[in-house]
Copies of this chain bind each other. A is one copy, B any other.
Amino acid sequence: TSSGVFLLQMGWGDLGAFGEPSKETPNLDQMAAEGMLFLDFYTASPLCSPSRAALLTGRLPVRNGFYTTNEHARNAYTPQDIVGGIPDSELLLPELLKKAGYVNKIIGKWHLGHRPQFHPLKHGFDEWFGSPNCHFGPYDNRERPNIPVYRDWEMIGRYYEDFKIDLKTGEANLTQLYLQEALDFISKQQASQQPFFLYWAIDATHAPVYASKQFLGTSQRGLYGDAVREIDDSVGKILNHLQQLGISENTFVFFTSDNGAALISAPRQGGSNGPFLCGKQTTFEGGMREPAIAWWPGHIPAGGVSHQLGNVMDLFSTSLSLAGLQPPSDRQIDGIDLLPVILQGKLIDRPIFYYRGNELMAVRAGLYKAHYWTWSNSWEEHGKGIDFCPGQSVSGVTTHTQEEHTYLPLLFHLGRDPGEKFPLSFASEEYQRAVERISGLVQQHKATLVPGQPQLNVCDQAVMNWSPPGCEKLGKCLKAPESDPKKCSWPH
């Protein structure tokens, strides 16, 4: 059985099937109608790189090293000047799938480090079309090089130079390129009859938001909606392609997101987290609950809905299970195999851990969520207009100082109060019971936790994408400045 994972940055509330009021995602909604909708599915971090590292390792970022200890509870990722990346000691899903004869391709944003030792083809992927970092820019190639786009081992150009993104009009045909790559790869695999793992990890709808000409201006929601519509269309075309090739019943496909919608970019460049609190960068539901759909015609009963607490890390374990492989036994794996949930409708009792950098901020068990720390962002940043919770403000909850609640966690019942607006009374029996249970889970978790070497502490201008492999052929090698490693600054 082949696997396809679509990983994007979209909010829980961005799909019609999840209640977006413009209802402009007919293909994703159809995918849900033919497959299984997960309503309680989470990412492993409210930020992109750590979530992607978690998906591919099946392990929390605090274990696989995708976090920082520079300051307390800070979100960190892999910008161009990051020195770290995915450690060799981590076993990635494609590395393991190779043992079962899979051909593995990543299309889109790798985001697990861009120095040579972190290259995806050194970590199990056979093919790559995409970029190591976000499509930020344009840069002047003096202070900062433009982000390279790779085909396999070598760069084939740079964003804004060879792969145009028009920030004024929002036009870029990148999603079309990524779509075509996916269709071609699937055709090739079908022809060669080899099982495959396709990780379609495009960076849309991350800001700066773009869409192809044919989608610009077609959405009620503006440019962000145009981008969503293009992704929706692409997903439809990929699923349709699997069906046309007659391999849909042998291909397990999962759609989800690496963090909640970035409300900081709303309304022009940011999406919707539906009824949930705040967005990307926070450990409120809006930052970490994700849209999720499993699709596997002939295996998953159509129109299913699951309340299983799921996590992107489960895609690691589930994909291994589909390939008939066992997860590594020499390390803690946080993902679980979702096949019993998907195929037999089982519910597996497991907690969700909400980390921000090096801190366990909150834990969900069943319908209860306990916050041990609360923080949206600092007063200083908030004063500059950086707001992860625009229009939302829950007294004592969306705090602008880091508030510790270790000895008396803030508790929410996410069934009655999905928006985390009404903390339960500390004096109630319900509170006592739920917190007792969750505290037990926290103790157990912390007692056995072995944090990985933090990868996101050190930044250095010299490590930026000055001269990626292949730059010589293109005449696109740039001169790196002298090495000057520093602590990275992580303000959130």
Interface residues of A in 1-28 (CB under 8 A from B): 12-13, 16, 18-23
A169 at the interface (CB under 8 A from B): no
Contact A418 B272 (CB under 8 A): yes
The main secondary structure of chain A at its interface with chain B is loop
B-contact 0/1 string along A257-287, CB 8 Å cutoff: 0000000001110001011010000000000
Task: Assess whether A40 is interfacial by the CB under 8 Å rule.
Answer: yes
> A297 on the interface (CB 8 Å rule)?
no
* Residue pair B22, A19 in contact (C-beta under 8 Å): no
Tell me whether A393 and B392 are in contact in the complex, defined as CB-CB below 8 angstroms, given that A225-B416, A267-B422, A418-B21 are known contacts: yes
- Report the stretch among A89-97, A216-224, A478-486 that lies at the interface: A216-224
Any chain B CB within 8 A of the CB of A116? no
Contact of B416 with A268 in the complex, beta carbons under 8 Å: yes
Residue A59 is within 8 A (CB to CB) of chain B in the complex: no
Name the contact of A40 in the complex, choosing from B21, B305, B422 (C-beta under 8 A): B21
A413 contacts chain B at the CB level, 8 A cutoff: yes
Q: Flag whether A367 is at the interface (Cβ < 8 A).
A: yes
Question: Contact partner of A39 among B13, B21, B393, B413, CB < 8 A?
Answer: B21
The answer to whether the Cβ of A421 comes within 8 Å of any Cβ in the partner chain is: yes
**A417 CB within 8 Å of chain B:** yes
The one of B219, B266, B413 that contacts A417, using a Cβ cutoff of 8 Å: B266
**Copies of this chain in its oligomeric complex:** 2
Residues in B with CB closer than 8 Å to A225 are: 415-416
Q: Which residue of B lies closest to A17 (CB)?
A: B19
A419 to B392, CA, bound (A): 10
Nearest B residue (CB) for A285: B21
Q: In whole Å, how far is A269's beta carbon from the nearest beta carbon of chain B? A: 10
The listed residue (B18, B221, B414) touching A415 by CB distance below 8 A is B221
Whether B390 and A421, one on each chain, are in contact in the complex, defined by CB atoms closer than 8 angstroms, is yes
A440 at interface (Cβ–Cβ under 8 A)? no
Question: How far, in whole Å, are A414 and B418 apart by their CA atoms in the complex?
Answer: 23
**Is A383 an interface position by the 8 A CB rule?**
no
Establish whether residues B222 and A416, one from each chain, have CB atoms under 8 Å apart when the complex forms.
yes
The answer to whether A421 and B21 touch across the interface, beta carbons within 8 angstroms, is: no
Task: Indicate if A475 sits at the interface (CB-CB under 8 A).
Answer: no
Complex contact A274–B274 (CB within 8 A): yes
A325: Cβ under 8 A from any B Cβ: no
A-B contacts, 15 of them at CB < 8 A, read: A13-B274, A19-B19, A21-B40, A21-B275, A22-B307, A220-B367, A220-B416, A222-B413, A225-B415, A267-B421, A267-B422, A277-B391, A390-B421, A391-B394, A391-B420
**Residues of A at under 8 Å CB distance from B?**
12-13, 16, 18-23, 37, 39-40, 219-222, 224-225, 266-268, 272, 274-275, 277, 305, 307, 367, 390-394, 397, 413-422
